[in-house]
Amino acid sequence: MADRVVVLGTWNSMFSNRVRIALLEKGVEYEYKEEDLLNKSLLLLESNPIHKKIPVLIHNERPICESLIIVQYIDETWNKTSPLMPGDPYERANLRFWGDFIDKKIFDCGTRLVWKSKGEDRDEAKKEFIESLMILEGELGQKTYFGGESFGYVDVALISFGCWFKAYEKTGKFSVEEECPKLMAWVRRCMERESVAKVLPDSGKICEFIDAVKKRFGVE
Amino acid sequence: MADRVVVLGTWNSMFSNRVRIALLEKGVEYEYKEEDLLNKSLLLLESNPIHKKIPVLIHNERPICESLIIVQYIDETWNKTSPLMPGDPYERANLRFWGDFIDKKIFDCGTRLVWKSKGEDRDEAKKEFIESLMILEGELGQKTYFGGESFGYVDVALISFGCWFKAYEKTGKFSVEEECPKLMAWVRRCMERESVAKVLPDSGKICEFIDAVKKRFGVE
């Protein structure tokens, strides 16, 4: 029986885009279902009854939740091609550490920067966001990808934010290129991959989306 | 060369106690160094320069950070005895989901309940905390341990909170036994294990510690 693989997500979510990029890297065909988060599908509510959040990967009727857990599941399940994680336990732990860092710092500070803060709070979020990017720039160093020569777990975890960078720059009035040139070169390198190019929306569309939501809710 | 294994932690931290329990389950000898969080050691600051937090596992001079990442590292490194995770990718993803749930819900609600809230906020934290325990009670069901017949990853992740239950009950004025009898039977079952009994402090000491900190900072 052929595998049946379904992804529940939204086009602008860095979390569901991680899942789709990982599947494309593995050459796994999947059906993508765009969710309306203001009117969640019964399938989403039944597949993730605890958090009721996207993304969900449904593999042969069995749901898996939480984006980095899904990426690890994809790597362990389709383990014959394009490994996203190395076999060495120490290297694996190190990649998991950076995946966790991205979720805790880049997502959190980026969200505060774009949506939740004004004035001094926004300045603080911007400062923390740039500091976090610089830490990642240091970790990347002279490597092609975070794991070394091949595109892997941390690259999947972070590149899904790539199409949000323009929005972060616009809100915070800074340039990722100026602050972190190596990281920006890595973004461009990743964007050339078919998996990434196919999945990530245009940066301009993310900015339009943010402007539309802010206008709708009367946020400055 | 014999392995050199060092754990940096504090006696009352559910996060460092996870690491110690996992090592004892594997029969790995380690040196434990109690940290003073008001005066962190140079070793801690150098081993976890990003977050500067406990726990850190230092294995042959190489540091690993973040408790659940460390537990996975321990399981993958000392993989000959007492597996904490099964081989099946779906089961692994499921255990990781519950580990993540414990970090997000039990720690967060428990912390708000004990330290950060008053009045209505405390009632809300209590409600969410009990709801989260009941979700875990449902996931445990009739099983001996969360992974089935043997003590594993989710058991390690959650039992480290066992010695905090009395403090949660005292602050919230409720009984885990009454709300979640199966979960409480699981706590007692885990407490009988040598690894858990050796590592976890007495519940009374946790309550005394909380009272002392609250008194010192003038918290109600």
pLDDT at position A76: 98
Domain A5-77 top-level CATH class: alpha beta
Please tell me which of the candidates A66, A70, A100 has its beta carbon nearest to residue B69.
Answer: A100
pLDDT tens digit sequence for A18-38: 999 999 999 999 999 999 999
Q: Find the chain A residues whose C-beta atoms sit closer than 8 A to any C-beta of B.
A: 50, 59, 62, 64-66, 69-70, 72-73, 76-77, 89-90, 92-94, 96-97, 100-101, 135
pLDDT at position B106: 96
Mean pLDDT of all residues belonging to chain A: 95
Q: Starting at the edge strand that comes first in sequence, how are the strands of the sheet with A62-65 ordered?
A: A31-34, A5-9, A56-59, A62-65
Residue to test with chain B: of A90, A95, A106, A131, most B Cβ within 10 A: A90
pLDDT at position B191: 97
In which residue ranges of chain A is CATH 3.40.30.10 found? Answer: 5-77
pLDDT at position A5: 98
Contact assignment for A73 to B50 by CB distance below 8 Å: no
Average pLDDT over residues A128-146: 97
ipTM of the complex: 0.96
**Nearby residues of B95 by Cβ (< 8 Å), 6 or more positions away:** B85, B86, B146, B147, B152, B153, B154
pLDDT at position B220: 66
pLDDT band for position B76 (50/70/90)? Answer: very high
- CATH code for the domain defined by A89-217: 1.20.1050.10
Structure token digits, residue B109: 């609600």
φ, ψ for residue A70, nearest 5 deg: -65, -45
pLDDT tens digit sequence for B34-74: 999 999 999 999 999 999 999 999 999 999 999 999 999 99
- Top-confidence residue, A15 or B215: A15
Residue to test with chain A: of B51, B56, B96, B134, most A Cβ within 10 A: B96
DSSP B160: T
- Chain A neighbors of B73, CB-CB under 8 A: 89-90, 92-93
Contact assignment for A50 to B135 by CB distance below 8 Å: yes
Average pLDDT over residues B12-24: 98
Question: Mind telling me how many Å the CA of A205 is from chain B's nearest CA?
Answer: 31
- ∠B43-A104-B45 over CA atoms, to 5°? 10
Pairing of strands B5-9, B56-59: antiparallel
DSSP B180: -
pLDDT at position B29: 97
Q: How many C-beta atoms lie closer than 10 Å to residue A200's C-beta?
A: 24
Concatenated DSSP letters of B116-147:
I--HHHHHHHHHHHHHHHHHHHHHHTT-SBTT
pLDDT beyond 90 at A122: no
d(CA A55, CA A19): 8
- ∠B183-B186-B187 over CA atoms, to 5°? 90
- Chain A neighbors of B50, CB-CB under 8 A: 101, 135
- Minimal Cα distance from A67: which residue of B? B97
| Residue carrying the six token digits 């969900």 | A56
- Chain A neighbors of B89, CB-CB under 8 A: 73, 76-77
pLDDT tens digit sequence for B92-126: 999 999 999 999 999 999 999 988 767 788 889 99
Structure token digits, residue A127: 């400062």
φ, ψ for residue B106, nearest 5 deg: -65, -45
pLDDT band for position A119 (50/70/90)? Answer: confident
Contact assignment for A97 to B135 by CB distance below 8 Å: no
pLDDT at position B210: 92
Contact assignment for B93 to A69 by CB distance below 8 Å: yes
C-alpha distances (whole Å) from A165 to each of A107, A147, A210, B203 are: 11, 22, 13, 47
In which residue ranges of chain A is CATH 1.20.1050.10 found? Answer: 89-217
Structure token digits, residue A20: 């789709």
